[in-house]
């Protein structure tokens, strides 16, 4: 019997993860453990849809396991919680290398400069439905919840950015009226980061965010989920815009976890 996409997704959404799969998520994704019960349940449904619709391929001899698929899917779907989403509609396949890999890159630098060459990478988003990740960096990013670096959050933020038609740091916002404030605040924050880097001033947000507005959004997303308290303190307007977009408040989760004595999740 033919099952429509909508019906299939409704069925998958209602299907909880098996105890074996849930154990992998709980072990590998500390952030999952501090989510409210409702968000955990929604995340499980999103993971089921993601795994059913996306193809994983191992590179350089890496064998794709349930642990690899679940660890990547869970982090990717954290960005989708509470939002109306088509679950990364342009993404078809995820290529996973065991370690960092070397690839040709063409980058647009500040000032209109375009640089080309070979680079060692931990992740990459391609235009034709594919995304590349380094497995050891995926694991490191998931486990260390306070360093501000998470390759899955970064690359899937690019996927969200691309859904608007062009990767320019402005994803599809839930309300068209949000674009004015988004452009003003993220534009100001990006310019301030570029200026700080050019003048060798210390910054909270990683300097890679100064590459271009698209990278700024991806890096800001990493910090929003990994160092939310610091981001909210030092960049309150940026935090507020990201909170409105993701409809989540990670800073509150961190503070609540600390008050409940669950600080090990973020250490």
214-244 pLDDT per residue, tens: 999 999 999 999 999 999 999 999 999 999 9
CB 223 within 8 A of CB 148: yes
The residue-averaged pLDDT of 8-23 equals 95
Residue 120 has pLDDT above 70, yes or no: no
Q: Which CATH superfamily is domain 5-266 in?
A: Collagenase (Catalytic Domain) (3.40.390.10)
- Beta-strand pair 93-97/130-134: parallel
- Each domain of the chain, given as residue ranges in start order, spans 5-266
44-97 pLDDT per residue, tens: 999 999 999 999 999 999 999 999 999 999 999 999 999 999 999 999 999 999
| Cβ atoms within 10 Å, residue 114 | 8
| pTM assigned to the model | 0.91
Nearest Cα neighbor of 121 from 104, 144, 140 is: 104
b/e code 27-51 from CB counts within 10 Å (16+ = b) = ebbbbbebbeeebbebbbbbbbbbb
């Amino acid at each position: 019997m033919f099952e429509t996409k909508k019906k299939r997704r409704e069925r998958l959404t209602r299907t909880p993860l098996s105890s074996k799969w849930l154990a992998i998520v709980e072990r590998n994704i500390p952030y999952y453990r501090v989510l409210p019960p409702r968000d955990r349940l929604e995340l499980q449904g999103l993971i089921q849809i993601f795994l059913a619709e996306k193809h994983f391929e191992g590179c350089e001899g890496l064998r794709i396991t349930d642990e690899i698929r679940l660890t990547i899917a869970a982090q990717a779907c954290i960005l989708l919680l509470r939002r109306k989403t088509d679950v990364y509609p342009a993404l078809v396949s995820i290529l996973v290398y065991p370690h960092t890999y070397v690839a040709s890159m063409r980058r647009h630098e500040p000032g209109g400069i375009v640089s080309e060459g070979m680079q060692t990478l931990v992740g990459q988003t391609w235009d034709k439905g594919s995304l590349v990740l380094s497995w050891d960096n995926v694991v490191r990013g998931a486990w260390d919840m306070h360093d501000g670096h998470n390759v899955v959050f970064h690359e899937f933020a690019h996927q969200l950015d691309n859904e608007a038609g062009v990767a320019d740091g402005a994803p599809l916002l839930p309300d068209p009226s949000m674009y004015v404030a988004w452009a003003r605040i993220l534009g100001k924050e990006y310019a301030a980061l570029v200026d700080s880097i050019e003048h060798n001033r210390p910054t909270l947000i990683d300097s890679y965010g100064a590459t271009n507005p698209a990278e700024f959004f991806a890096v800001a997303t990493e910090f929003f989920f990994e160092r939310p308290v610091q981001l909210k303190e030092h960049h309150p307007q940026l935090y507020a815009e990201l909170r409105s977009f993701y409809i989540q408040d990670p800073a509150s989760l961190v503070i609540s976890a600390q008050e409940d004595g669950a600080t090990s999740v973020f250490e």
